[in-house]
Amino acid sequence: MRLDKFVAASSGLSRKQATLEVRRGNVQIDGVRCKRTATQLSDAQQNGGVTLNSAALFTAKPLYLMLHKPKGYVCANTDADHPTVFDLLNERDFHPSLQGQLQVAGRLDIDTTGLVLITSDGNWNHAVTSPNKKRGKCYQVTTANPIADDAIALFEQGLDLRGDSKPTKPAKLTITGSHCAELEITEGRYHQVKRMFAAIGNKVVELHRASVAGITLDDSLGLCEYRILTPEEVNGF
Considering the complex, what minimum distance in angstroms separates the CB of residue 63 from ligand URA?
Answer: 23
Burial pattern 50-60, b for ≥16 Cβ within 10 A else e, equals bbbeeeebeeb
- Residues in the site for ligand URA, rule: CB under 6 A? 108-109, 112, 191-194, 207
Q: Which amino acid is at 138?
A: C
Q: What angle do CA 137, 60, 106 make, to 5 degrees?
A: 15
Count of beta carbons in the 10 Å neighbourhood of residue 202: 20
Q: Sort residue 205 into left (φ over 0), alpha (ψ -120 to 50) or beta.
A: alpha
Considering the complex, what minimum distance in angstroms separates the CB of residue 139 from ligand URA?
Answer: 6
Among candidates 103, 100, 95, 92, which has minimal Cα distance to 65?
Answer: 103
Give the 3-state secondary structure of residue 205.
strand
Residue number, 98 or 108, with CB nearest to ligand URA: 108
CA separation for the pair 96, 12 (Å, rounded): 5
Considering the complex, what minimum distance in angstroms separates the CB of residue 55 from ligand URA?
Answer: 42
Among candidates 179, 202, 204, 178, which has minimal Cα distance to 109?
Answer: 204
Active-site choice (79, 109, 164, 218): 109
Considering the complex, what minimum distance in angstroms separates the CB of residue 207 from ligand URA?
Answer: 6
Residue number, 27 or 135, with CB nearest to ligand URA: 135
Considering the complex, what minimum distance in angstroms separates the CB of residue 164 from ligand URA?
Answer: 13
Residue number, 8 or 116, with CB nearest to ligand URA: 116
Quick one: DSSP state of residue 165? Answer: S
Residue number, 65 or 104, with CB nearest to ligand URA: 104
**87: annotated active-site residue:** no
Residue number, 7 or 196, with CB nearest to ligand URA: 196
**Residues known to be catalytic:** 109
